[in-house]
Structure 1
């Protein structure tokens, strides 16, 4: 997490109102009323106490990516800012708990911190506390942050959030080995609001999804009535020669869907240019072998056109 200071802590470090205003123009940023985050360490002598506290805490400075990941980074700051003033016996839950456990949502799912506590409900601009039962076995801690266990976190998200949010997070947890479908299935409370969505989320989540984008593809296949698309399949030509490992391939028909995230190119050890060339060569091998290949990018996951085309192609081939 990051270094967040209360107004009281800043005064104990020797900052006056004028000193706080000066730091806000340099390395400090207001998170919410009475809470401030250290954006970066600076060389100003007057701000040295902030740097020393930050270094002693072994926390990180807030990260900036210039894309939708920045929303999750802002949420991390907000979570940290509420750590010291949670009501007694309340623990972080839902998306906040997922973030604390290192399971970031694929896109902004909420802009408030979330917690649960039995017999207590509160909804404010920066935090939502749900009134929920919390057995002792469902509570945990990550560093100094009280949080629901990973299993409880995944079940809460599956019940209370859309498939677009829950499936990527559950898939990531499965891939990390943090949970199993069997344990999650046994934790679903039949008849509870959201239980049908939770059951469907577990049907769509898969440890073979190698990225949030692939998990979102699986959700969109479901939304558009597309069945039979299997994740991470090795594809061979009629002679048995290996062609590629595909993100999705239909179980019976020569239909393939590939998700192209930024990482496929810019995280390649060979560099983006070589990765792009190799991807084109693979695409041509598949086309020459008779496969219909649909190349999806992030924006396609939020519009209908490509998924309607995939659905129509499967129908034309007799699927």
Structure 2
């Protein structure tokens, strides 16, 4: 790797063709480096080293794409909307990551071309924050901006994540929303603010809560705490219907990967989770329903299953 290009990447995340040309790389050489996968073209005229791209997950690849778009902009811009969500480490589920969203600082009308959407927006105090030395739209404003582009479910995933990580608060969302009097496409923004709940600890949990609300199921208490006879906390349940003696656990892969202790396998974690479930059922007399991403892909089946259990007092 060329140390000169490495230093550029350290500052800007990507390097541009014109910068490579200035260092002596001719266009024909650049083409061959890309074909050999030594360099990777993030977008036309912007590159990273192939190793960097292949080692990046989809979220990081989208961030690099946004950095390239901002770097190539002919006017001063700030990562906003979906792009700001990526820079803040938020969930990109359900969001369109084929477009980089950038807000102009000159107040002029934005344009859309080649996977880049420029926005015109009035920036108020607190709307811009520093992320790794770069100006980015604040989490509060970004969560609201996303509601103008994405469906309620995807927008909720962002709002819940930012609330859980304390990047914003319900009060901040509501007060900033009150100033969005001239923003277009905000019909669902108020709904997202009202449904957002920072107690949901993953995209899967947010989607489950939204499904419960959308289908008119009884409200399920998130992160319901269960104590033993000595008053010791033994479990925190993803969702609970105490009056129906039923609780629901969302089984995403992270539930079984994150708790891995030194020397443990996923099987060990699964067995420990099963022991936890058995203990909760023994202490409360409740029943448990477990769902996965597959269940969310066929919501009507999952909802009917929950309805049946809510209306039944017999064991699962």
Q: What is residue 166 of structure 1 aligned with on the other side? A: 155
Q: What is residue 153 of structure 1 aligned with on the other side? A: 142
Q: How does 1:233-312 map to 2 (within 5 A)?
A: 233-236=224-227, 244-270=235-261, 271=264, 272-288=266-282, 289-304=284-299, 305-312=301-308
Change (3 A) 1:144 1:278: closer
Per-residue deviation, residues 135-158 of structure 1 (Å, max 9, x unmatched): 354233434533212221122123
Q: What is residue 19 of structure 2 aligned with on the other side? A: 9
In the alignment, structure 1 residue 86 sits paired with structure 2 residue 47: no
The structural deviation recorded for 1:97 is 0.8
Which of residues 59, 80, 103 in structure 2 aligns to 1:116? 103
Change (3 A) 1:26 1:161: closer
The structural deviation recorded for 1:194 is 4.6
Contact 1:3 1:38 in 2 (8 A): no
In the alignment, structure 1 residue 37 sits paired with structure 2 residue 48: yes
Contact 1:181 1:202 in 2 (8 A): yes
The structural deviation recorded for 1:9 is 1.1
The worse-fitting range, judged by mean Cα deviation, of 7-16 and 116-125 is 116-125
Q: How does 1:186-205 map to 2 (within 5 A)?
A: 186-189=175-178, 193-205=184-196
Q: Distance in 2 between matches of 1:313 and 1:194?
A: 39
The worse-fitting range, judged by mean Cα deviation, of 200-209 and 76-85 is 200-209
The structural deviation recorded for 1:28 is 0.6
Contact 2:91 2:161 in 1 (8 A): no
**5+ long unaligned stretches in structure 2:** 1-9
Q: Distance in 2 between matches of 1:187 and 1:35?
A: 35
Q: Distance in 2 between matches of 1:144 and 1:99?
A: 15
Per-residue deviation, residues 254-294 of structure 1 (Å, max 9, x unmatched): 12110111121122233311110011222334445532311
Per-residue deviation, residues 125-182 of structure 1 (Å, max 9, x unmatched): 3111233333354233434533212221122123432222222222221222221101
In the alignment, structure 1 residue 215 sits paired with structure 2 residue 206: yes
Contact 2:157 2:206 in 1 (8 A): yes
Per-residue deviation, residues 4-60 of structure 1 (Å, max 9, x unmatched): 1211111122222342133221321112221112122xxxxxxxxxxxxxxxxxxxx
Which of residues 298, 310, 314 in structure 1 aligns to 2:310? 314
Contact 2:85 2:139 in 1 (8 A): yes
Contact 1:209 1:215 in 2 (8 A): yes
Q: Give the alignment's TM-score, normalised by structure 2.
A: 0.81
Change (3 A) 1:193 1:102: same
Which of residues 108, 122, 127 in structure 2 aligns to 1:133? 122
Q: Give the alignment's TM-score, normalised by structure 1.
A: 0.81
The structural deviation recorded for 1:114 is 0.5
**5+ long unaligned stretches in structure 1:** 41-60
Change (3 A) 1:183 1:136: closer
The structural deviation recorded for 1:184 is 0.7
* Backbone CA RMSD of aligned residues: 2.7
Change (3 A) 1:182 1:147: same
